Structure 1
């Protein structure tokens, strides 16, 4: 019988790492996955990164300064994982692992931490012709189904990435305010998705996890074929050994990544770019620590 994906994630997150991670979600009624609760508590001055939907417009008009409503945190929070299950995510990551395996580890880490804190996790994934949606629950069986569904949907036959459709669907079907973790590859979300991300940000707290692609040229491994999964064709040996091509590819990837990071920073969205399955857990811990520092301790 195959080992469950959730069990594999838990085994990978060793005692030292899990204790470090758990420290991030402990505290006086506080969670790593901060979100608005149901009970109004107080007003505070608006800070970059706060949700526009929390602005109290009447109080703002009276004071002349933008004020937002603070809420007591809910005991149970709802999280959503938005997973890119396109063909690109079945390709190779920068560290040589499968991007699909890195994605499962990232989603599993969210499930692991959420379950430790009693939070509920749902999922949005799939393609326009085959959408996938799972409700927010916390049982081992549900989280295993979530991870298994994402894994099985991510194949080289899944079709090209369409983050615009995925983000639009996430907005339409996830009506409750959540911590939304978007897991995709280094090329997404694109700068053209700015408006969609900004709209999502009005309702949800966002995290973006990007998984780096392997070197598309693989010039040191000419005895192996390299195929582009988005538009399946072999990349020829001449292109793979050309210094000019290597320079142009590196410059393009660098400019694309800088554009995406600038967009996410502008929207005050926590984000990271990881090399693959071997680095994703440590990178997530570092990103979550950074989030905790920015939010400030309760």
Structure 2
């Protein structure tokens, strides 16, 4: 397995069973080799499924039934902009956590033979990788994402990527968004409405390390988006630090409420250790949508 997928597997694990079972747009386009049962032949059945030995024994034409497999067309929509240069609560670079999230989704698709592609970029525009299957394809996706996110990226604006998808991907599929926590505004609402009408949408949000930890902390912070220093908690004082914490809690509550209203299954990811739990939560919501 490739280097990038191996890194993702360290955090996600080897067991990928049970993920992505269902959803509105899962396509039953093949079957597994797992035998289910025999049943009488009816006109329209594939004659290749006739069990001739069982037919001879019973005197009735019987066919084999197999367990159906549901497959998805999955499009990763990823922010590869400047915001991902910041630190997550785990202390990792957010772009590392994002790459492990994308890799984990890739690992899931490998076992299921799902097709996967990716649209990624920043406020300047998008890179579009078409849907394909296979380990080599996913490893290439991860390599291109890491190169972009780590080499002087532009300002983050995931709405740019979402808008591209809304205008260029009309066939229904599963969209997996990977970004930081977006601002709730009219622009985001306008692009999410057509997406959720046509697609299943999951959103993994890589959280920021708190800009201010406590009133005793004398270390200044740094905002990678604005490229400005953030005063330390000791400079701001306890009242400002408390107000900041309350504002952050309210922002996250409003964001979660907004995404729920839009029908977007979502999870906040504080580090690579949270990836499996986050994907379990989001794909569980997807399964209940069957």
TM-score normalized by the length of structure 1: 0.75
Match of 1:295 in 2: 289
Match of 1:154 among 107, 131, 149: 149
Match of 2:11 in 1: 12
Q: Which moved more, 1:219-228 or 1:254-263?
A: 219-228
Matches within 5 A, 1:140-289: 140-155=135-150, 157-186=152-181, 188=182, 190-192=184-186, 193-219=188-214, 225-237=220-232, 241-289=236-284
CA RMSD of aligned residues (A): 2.7
Counterpart contact for 1:99–1:277, Cα < 8 Å: no
Q: CA deviation at 1:157?
A: 3.2
Mapped partners of 2:110, 2:165: distance in 1:
22
Q: Does 1:35 align with 2:25?
A: yes
Q: CA deviation at 1:220?
A: 8.1
Q: Which has the larger Rg?
A: 2
Mapped partners of 2:79, 2:264: distance in 1:
18
Counterpart contact for 1:219–1:241, Cα < 8 Å: no
Counterpart contact for 2:123–2:154, Cα < 8 Å: no
Counterpart contact for 1:77–1:119, Cα < 8 Å: yes
Q: 1:12 to 1:278 in 2, by over 3 A?
A: closer
Q: 1:240 to 1:163 in 2, by over 3 A?
A: farther
Q: For structure 1, list consecutive stretches of 5 or more residues without a partner in the other structure.
A: 26-30, 40-72
TM-score normalized by the length of structure 2: 0.77
Counterpart contact for 2:217–2:234, Cα < 8 Å: no
Mapped partners of 2:80, 2:88: distance in 1:
14
Q: For structure 2, list consecutive stretches of 5 or more residues without a partner in the other structure.
A: 30-67
Structure 1: 4+ residue segments shifted above 3 A: 31-34, 36-39, 73-76, 218-225, 237-241
Counterpart contact for 1:123–1:134, Cα < 8 Å: yes
Count residues in correspondence: 251
